[in-house]
Structure 1
Amino acid sequence: MTASLRYPFASIGGGDYLDRGAGGQIFVISKRVVFKCPTEFHNPAPSQEEEMEESAAKIAHEKSMHELLMKHPHPNIVRCILCVPEGFFMERMERTLRTRIKQYSAGHVPSNRTKARWITQIASALSWIEGLVTCGHILLTANENIRLADFDTSVKIGKELEAATEPFVKLGEDFETPMAGPISERFALGSCIYTIRFGHIPLDGLDPPDRVQKPYENELPSTENDVEFGDVTARCWQGQYASISAAYDDIKARCDGLGYDTESFSDVSGV
């Protein structure tokens, strides 16, 4: 018999399907709510059985993260509404930051103030979650405020990262993934800042193998043309901040010096 996707509830069907990744699948519940659950199949093939086991483990881990975050919420981390045995309900976002940045090329470039708000909100939220952060794991509300999401690969400090997406991770000498901690977080933050400011990922003109090799050799693009945050990006890449909190404090001070109202950056009500 042919394998087919299994839906978590009888009330959910193919028309409610929104997205699917290594961590599971997402279904639309309403304009404001989605449901994330493990990927499951009817009549799975052997390879699909392995995918189901991996997906179930990832969703269980992500659910445990959300249960913790529900007790200790952050305004720039996606909000989980309810955890149930089948998965969890969470707020629905407008788009990913990556999708928004792709619109730069069509002339839809945000103001420097908006870019500064994104950078500040990302740095503020990063201290809550250890693990890989890329622009694909960062969502935007309808009012273009940041929400970090996708915590199925988040790990404790000192544990090896479970995922490595170039050029947001600097691999080791033998191309092993680094340990989670301030160094990996700062490097990822630097690459996020660069992408926001320049409208493309670092080293975007290179093939993926070269994008892996160049950071290891400390050959990263110049940030001199970014007068507002270029120095922050370089310092993140070079590991010159003692912590993400130190990077956040520097970012906030620079925003204040540029005349941006950083207090308003934390006002994410009505989204």
Structure 2
Amino acid sequence: MSNSQQKPGWMLIKEHQLRLASFTTISKPIRHVNSLKPLMIPIRRKDGVGCGAKANVHKASETIYPRYGKRPFSQEIKFYKRLFEEKDRCPDIIECFIALPDYIFLSYCCNDNLARRFFNYQERETRRSGCYGKLISVKQYEDPTLIARWIQQLSSALAFIEKLGYNHNDLHPRNCLLDENLNLKLSDFDRATTIGQFLEGHIPPWAIMLSAGPLQNTYGLTSARTEQFALGTFLYTMVYGHEPYEDIHLQEDNPDELRRRFRAMEFPELNRHEIFDGLISACWHNVYPTMALVAYDFKRKTKDIASPPNYRVIDYAKEKRACVAMIQGGLLGPELALSYQPAWQRCLHTVLGKFLFGWKQFVNYISTFP
């Protein structure tokens, strides 16, 4: 840990160019601080565990990792605010300890995400750039007992979200993490919306365009219909080791044909596992009116297959205190460190800042005299 992290947050303020003249007593954490962007998170580079188009992830401790966004987590904040209002907890949703506009503190999952796991089971072309290309074959298939457990956990998470009045709207293996006991944890709620909003930013095979009705040529409104369709594609990917029609490279070679097939409900042949195939088909054909019924049916039909989960007990209050201590220690920069200090320290810095500003103005003034 760097020296700046070992010092109390209030000491960090003295070591930066202070604009303390504009500080006022703060009664709650700062909502948004643009000046934090260039500072980023002052933890070691080797602690980075992931990066993406919208956010980067660092490991702050053995149980906590902060995500910092390249733009504010506006949608995710709304979802977590609603989640915090709920007394019950869903063990299949990633635990969030603190949610700020630019930073979110989550429970650490050491076994990466499902997309990486399935990617390692595949053989793909290697392009000249060194990047991986088209699928050649699936070298290994996932254990059905794990697939059954994961689909139970994922459908349970979606049913819980539905109870809150929300849809996830971005079901994909990359958004499902695995903890130390290989339990699935649904994460990444940056596209989560209340039920009944227009579904945007999706393409087959994760969504299907409507062919008739007042919403023709759109993906429709977010609902159990859109969630279960994506869930069917998710289950297909786990069972068959690749996305629908990826084995014939339809997405790369003829994306228009891929869209036509899904719009016409011409789905790939299902012939690998009787129970899983039936669940995939049911989701693709919009059999279930609610996600609660999806979760019930999935659990009922896979109860004899699924390996039993082993959840680690998370002390939410303890982990949240640890997150606050990290912020106070300067993990997210001096301004947020100050905002999380006790009220008397914030008042002290307000007074000190105004005094220093006044003193500087006075020195500048008298220096103008010969």
* TM bracket, shorter-chain basis: 0.7 to 0.9
The secondary structure found in structure 2 opposite 1:12 is coil
Matched with 1:74 is 90
Aligned amino acid, residue 100 of structure 1: R
Q: Which runs of 5+ in 2 are unaligned?
A: 1-36, 123-137, 315-370
Matched with 1:28 is 59
Q: Cα RMSD over matched residues?
A: 2.4
Distance in 1 (alpha carbons) for counterparts of 2:119 and 2:53: 23
What pairs with 1:227-246 in structure 2 (closer than 5 Å)?
227-246=274-293
Question: Do the aligned residues in 2 keep the contact of 1:17 with 1:27 (CA within 8 Å)?
Answer: yes
Q: Which runs of 5+ in 1 are unaligned?
A: 40-54
Distance in 2 (alpha carbons) for counterparts of 1:111 and 1:221: 21
How far apart are 1:24 and its partner, in Å? 2.5
Matched with 1:98 is 115
How far apart are 1:162 and its partner, in Å? 3.5
Distance in 2 (alpha carbons) for counterparts of 1:213 and 1:34: 41
Distance in 2 (alpha carbons) for counterparts of 1:139 and 1:212: 29
How far apart are 1:270 and its partner, in Å? 5.7
Aligned amino acid, residue 89 of structure 1: F
> Which structure ranks higher in relative contact order (CA pairs < 8 Å, sequence separation ≥ 6)?
2
The secondary structure found in structure 2 opposite 1:63 is helix
Over 3 Å counting, the alpha-carbon distance change for 1:261 and 1:114 in structure 2 is: closer
How far apart are 1:190 and its partner, in Å? 0.6
Matched with 1:64 is 78
Question: Do the aligned residues in 2 keep the contact of 1:80 with 1:88 (CA within 8 Å)?
Answer: yes
Matched with 1:177 is 219
Matched with 1:52 is none
In percent, how many aligned pairs have the same letter? Answer: 23
How far apart are 1:243 and its partner, in Å? 1.6
Please list the CA deviations of residues 216-269 of structure 1 after superposition, one character each: whole Å capped at 9, or x if unmatched.
Answer: 11111122332121111101100111222212211111123xx2467x34x422
Kindly tell me the number of residue pairs found equivalent between the two proteins: 245
TM-score between the two structures when normalised by the length of structure 2:
0.60
Are 1:18 and 2:49 an aligned pair? yes
Aligned amino acid, residue 207 of structure 1: Q
Distance in 1 (alpha carbons) for counterparts of 2:101 and 2:226: 33
Question: Do the aligned residues in 2 keep the contact of 1:36 with 1:88 (CA within 8 Å)?
Answer: yes
Question: Do the aligned residues in 2 keep the contact of 1:97 with 1:138 (CA within 8 Å)?
Answer: yes
Specify the structure having the higher radius of gyration (Cα).
2
Question: Do the aligned residues in 1 keep the contact of 2:75 with 2:193 (CA within 8 Å)?
Answer: no
Worse-superposed segment, 133-142 or 77-86: 77-86
How far apart are 1:80 and its partner, in Å? 0.7
What pairs with 1:1-271 in structure 2 (closer than 5 Å)?
6-9=38-41, 11-12=42-43, 14-39=45-70, 55-56=71-72, 59-72=73-86, 73-84=89-100, 86-93=102-109, 94-105=111-122, 109-127=141-159, 128=161, 129-130=166-167, 131-173=169-211, 175-204=217-246, 205=248, 206-208=250-252, 209=255, 210-256=257-303, 259-260=304-305, 264-265=308-309, 267-269=310-312
Worse-superposed segment, 98-107 or 84-93: 98-107
